Chains A and B, each alone.
Chain A
Amino acid sequence: MNILKSLANRERVFDFLVPAHSPVDVRHGPILYLEDVNVSFDGFKAINDLNLTIDDGELRCIIGPNGAGKTTMMDIITGKTRPGIGSVWFGSRHDLLTLNEPEIASLGIGRKFQKPTVFEALTVFENLELAMAADKRVLPTLIARLTGEGRDRIEEVLATIGLVELRYATAGTLSHGQKQWLEIGMLLMQRPRLLLVDEPVAGMTEQEMERTAELLTGLAGKGKQSVVVVEHDMGFVRSIARTVTVLHQGSVLAEGSMDTVSNDPKVIEVYLGAEEEAA
């Protein structure tokens, strides 16, 4: 069933992706596959023999203490950092290590940064418009007009992220939580296959957090895209997670359901335990 679904998805995505790129092939398994990845900065090993597999349509939470290598892992996937050793595959067709940042972005990997970065001088609507999958070369952009289809898509995403009323507000005037949602919306506009979300609820109020949890589970739940969430807030992770991966010192310490992971003695020792003691 899953394979069938993803095939159907693939067809839909294909229409909107830049034709130059071949579609992501997930028939043979996971959408993202990291094998034996190593990165070191000036002798410090930030990532150490990391192996990670994300299935198509999965919502995965990644937790780990500070310095566990979570952000570096995101950097590797999006092409910002190049690992010394290892391989990173997107589907079974695209070797991410051979591509640069914009190429990876247009393949369908969207990343949401820790600190929300939206274009503050532009309106919510314009923010989404810029994020829309389209011909992004210079001259086509100059003469581009918004099609009815594009407008529909923007409205759809506006509805998803709950900013319909604020579509003509400048992004700079949004609250912190709204900016986070807008940024997720911008990622959705690109019809990504894989969403990387870095600490989405940091600094959010209780209600905003609930809203975000709904948003993220909704995104992955429909099998539209795979979502990887890096988060510190254990309550939030517990509320959305199906599978949790614990990173420690640059490699995977444990993986499984939230309950399995939180009962793992190794995990308790390096992470959860410390937190519960502190609490």
Chain B
Amino acid sequence: MWLTRPFSERSTRLFLSVLLAALALVTLLNLAVPAGHPLHVSTYAVTLLGKYLSYALLAVAVDLVWGYLGILSLGHGAFFALGGYAMGMYLMRQIGDRGTYGDPVLPDFMVFLDWDSLPWYWLGFDMPGFAFLMVLLAPGLLALVFGFLAFRSRVTGVYLSIITQAMTFALMLAFFRNEMGFGGNNGLTDFRELLGFDLRSDGTRLGLFLATGIALALGYVLCRAIVASKLGRVSVACRDAEARTRFLGYRVERFQLFVFVVSAMLAGVAGALYVPQVGIINPGEFSPIFSIEVVLWVALGGRATLYGAVIGALLVNYAKTVFTGVMPDAWLFALGGMFVLVTVFLPRGIAGLLSLRPWRRASHTATTQPTTGESTA
């Protein structure tokens, strides 16, 4: 019931129709338009768009905690990567004996390292159900433990940002180690099939793109529902006046933990959808720079709007693709410049320019009505 609440919002309906229309259009242009035609969308482009969409879902997750809870997580890349690794482990097991070394159980890198059996934490990843559950649970559990410790001791603000960054940094270092059993430097790659579908076929790629788009839509609705619920308003209250919220009798740390864990799981799903499309997951996804870049997408799009996060993720990543193709040296200048310009000149992001924020109208009416203090008993 609380889940259906977003559908009564104009902005959500608009967002969903644009997204679904775009998905349908891309599918049409990919399938129905012949390859030579200028309007044809190649499978390569479809996969690229799918990658952007998984980034957009990650951005929505970050916006949920940053925009509505006021927690600037510089470690959401870690949740994204964990979800990705869970998916990657499943895909590795699916390779079976078709790897270079032909071992029926062990992935190539383990054979290379002379391991004789699977480590315990790889068990079960040959079952898709278990693996997909871990896509949610692995990042969720990390967020639960980390958030429990942090919020309980009221670590917030920049401190939290810094230790989330340290968290993802530590994980990156850990996953770089071969002994961890996640393929070290090279990560997991050479995937073959997902649920029996060949990952290299055009059909699977289009399917993954659509799945990512639908996951984004669902994730968006979930976040919207949370935000529109009373819990969402409590989150905003925690963001703006934490002590006050506590005095009202809300256990602030539990609300923070709940939203943080939900957001981490969403990030995990985004990572899981990302991996089969790009065909690799390596410790680079844990790098603090990636996490902080995600925050830029949200900032550019406009925080505390959710759709702003989607816009930001798509725009920045499209720009990145264009820039790195045309003049790779200039990309970091552009990215750095965006960070500075957005925070200084565009604190509300693109969404702020569109001024679609519902409460802005309300505040407008408020200022036009003078107060008359009528006394009451």
Minimum Cβ distance to chain B for residue A75 (Å)? 12
Nearest residue, chain B, Cβ from A170: B363
Indicate if the CB atoms of B234 and A130 lie closer than 8 Å: yes
In this complex, how many residues of chain B approach chain A with their Cβ under 8 Å: the count is: 39
Asked if B180 is at the interface (CB within 8 A of a chain A CB), the reply is no
**Does B251 interact with chain A (Cβ within 8 Å)?**
yes
- Residues of B near A165 (CB, < 8 A) are 369, 371-372
Main secondary structure of the interface of A (DSSP, over half): helix
B2 interface residue per 8 A CB criterion = yes
Given contacts A165-B372, A173-B367, A208-B373, contact A130 B233 (CB under 8 A): yes
Contact A105 B248 (CB under 8 A): yes
Question: Which chain A residues lie closer than 8 Å to B362 at the CB level?
Answer: 123, 168-170
Is residue A118 within 8 Å, beta carbon to beta carbon, of the partner chain? yes
Contact B366 A170 (CB under 8 A): yes
Residue among B239, B243, B367 making CB contact with A117, cutoff 8 Å: B243
A122 and B233 form a contact (CB under 8 A): yes
Query: Is A143 in contact with chain B by the CB < 8 A criterion?
Result: yes
Q: Which residues of A contact B249 (CB under 8 A)?
A: 102, 105-106, 136, 190
Within the complex, which residue of A130, A131, A173, A208 is in contact with B363, where a contact is CB–CB below 8 Å? A173
* With A121-B236, A136-B251 as contacts: A144 and B376 at CB distance below 8 Å: no
Tell whether A111 is near chain B: CB-to-CB under 8 Å.
yes
- Whether a CB of chain A sits under 8 angstroms from the CB of B246 is yes
**How far, in whole Å, are A211 and B372 apart by their CA atoms in the complex?**
11
| CA–CA, A166 and B258, complex, Å | 32
The reply on B229 being an interface residue by CB < 8 A is yes
CB distance from B341 to the nearest CB of A (A): 24
B237 is an interface residue with CB less than 8 A from chain A = yes
CA distance in complex: A174, B249 (Å): 24
Minimum CB distance partner of B375 in chain A: A214
Chain A: CB-nearest residue to B2: A143
Q: Name the residue on A nearest B3 (C-beta).
A: A143
Expressed in whole angstroms, the Cα–Cα distance for A178 and B367 within the complex equals 13
Chain B 357-371 interface mask (CB, 8 Å, partner A; 1/0): 001001101110101
Q: Smallest CB-CB separation from B247: which chain A residue?
A: A105
| CA distance in complex: A215, B2 (Å) | 37
CB distance from B183 to the nearest CB of A (A): 37
Q: How far, in angstroms, from A174 to B367 measured CA to CA in the complex?
A: 8
Contact digits for A143-183, partner B, Cβ 8 Å, 1 yes 0 no = 11110000000000001111111101110111100100000
Q: Which of B240, B373, B374 has the most CB of A within 10 A?
A: B373
Q: Is A123's CB under 8 angstroms from B247's CB?
A: no
Residue of B1, B230, B233, B243 contacting most chain A CB atoms (<10 Å): B230
Q: Is the CB of A168 within 8 A of B366?
A: yes
Cβ–Cβ contact A117 & B229, under 8 A: no
Tell me whether A222 and B377 are in contact (CB under 8 A). Answer: yes
Highest count of chain A CB atoms <10 Å: which of B2, B244, B245: B244
Q: Does B255 belong to the interface (CB within 8 Å)?
A: yes
Measured CA separation A170–B1 after assembly (Å): 27
Rounded to whole Å, the gap between the CB of A145 and the closest CB of chain B is 8
Are B241 and A117 in contact, CB atoms less than 8 angstroms apart?
A: yes
Shortest A17–chain B CB gap in Å is: 11
Closest to B252 in A: A102
Q: Answer yes or no: B143 CB below 8 A from chain A CBs.
A: no
Q: Which residue of A lies closest to B232 (CB)?
A: A142
A96 close to B (CB within 8 Å): no
Nearest CB in chain A to that of B359: its residue:
A170
Contact with B along A47-62 (1 / 0, CB 8 A): 0000000000000000
CA distance in complex: A159, B251 (Å): 29
Chain B residues near A178 (CB, 8 Å)?
Answer: 371
Q: Are A129 and B233 in contact (CB under 8 A)?
A: yes
Grouping DSSP codes into helix (H, G, I), strand (E, B) and loop, the B interface class, with mixed when no group exceeds half, is: helix
Q: Is the CB of A141 within 8 A of B255?
A: yes
- Contact between chains at B246 and A101 (CB < 8 Å): yes
- A207 interface contact, C-beta 8 A: yes
B218 contacts which chain A residues (CB < 8 A)?
Answer: none
Counting contact residues on chain A (CB < 8 A from B), the size range is 35 or more
**A165–B362 alpha-carbon span in the complex (Å):** 12
Tell me whether A169 and B365 are in contact (CB under 8 A). Answer: yes
Within 8 A of A (CB), among B230-285: 230-231, 233-234, 236-237, 239-241, 243-251, 254-255, 258
Which residues of B have CB within 8 Å of A8? none
Residues of chain B contacted by A123 (CB below 8 angstroms): 359, 362
Q: Is the pair B250, A102 in contact by a Cβ cutoff of 8 Å?
A: yes
State whether A162 and B376 are in contact (beta carbons under 8 Å apart), knowing that A142-B231, A173-B366 are contacts in the complex.
yes
Which residues in B have their C-beta under 8 angstroms from that of A106? 249
B49 within 8 Å of A (CB atoms)? no
Residues of B with C-beta under 8 A to A166: 366, 369, 371
Asked whether any CB of chain A lies closer than 8 Å to the CB of B95, the reply is: no
Q: Which residues of B contact A145 (CB under 8 A)?
A: 1-2
Q: What are the residues of chain B within 8 A of A105 when measuring CB–CB?
A: 246-249
Does A138 count as interface, using CB distance less than 8 angstroms?
A: yes
Q: B residues within 8 A CB of A126?
A: 233
Q: Pick the contact of B236 from A122, A142, A190, A207 — CB < 8 Å?
A: A122
The interface residues of chain A lying within 8 Å CB-to-CB of B53 are none
Q: Is A186 an interface residue (CB 8 A)?
A: yes
Of all A-B residue pairs in the complex, the 5 with the closest CB atoms, nearest first, are: A169-B366, A142-B231, A144-B230, A106-B249, A170-B363
Q: List 22 interface pairs A-B (beta carbons < 8 Å), by A numbering.
A: A102-B250, A102-B251, A118-B241, A121-B236, A121-B239, A130-B234, A130-B237, A137-B251, A138-B251, A138-B254, A138-B255, A141-B230, A141-B234, A162-B374, A166-B371, A168-B366, A173-B363, A173-B367, A186-B248, A190-B248, A214-B375, A218-B377
Q: Knowing that A144-B231, A211-B373, A215-B375 touch, tell me 17 more A-B residue pairs with CB under 8 angstroms.
A: A101-B247, A111-B247, A119-B244, A119-B245, A120-B241, A122-B236, A123-B362, A129-B233, A130-B250, A137-B251, A141-B231, A142-B226, A146-B230, A163-B371, A166-B371, A168-B362, A175-B371
Give the interface of A toward B (CB within 8 A): 78, 101-102, 105-106, 110-111, 113, 117-123, 126, 129-131, 136-138, 141-146, 159-166, 168-170, 172-175, 178, 186, 190, 207-208, 211, 214-215, 218, 222
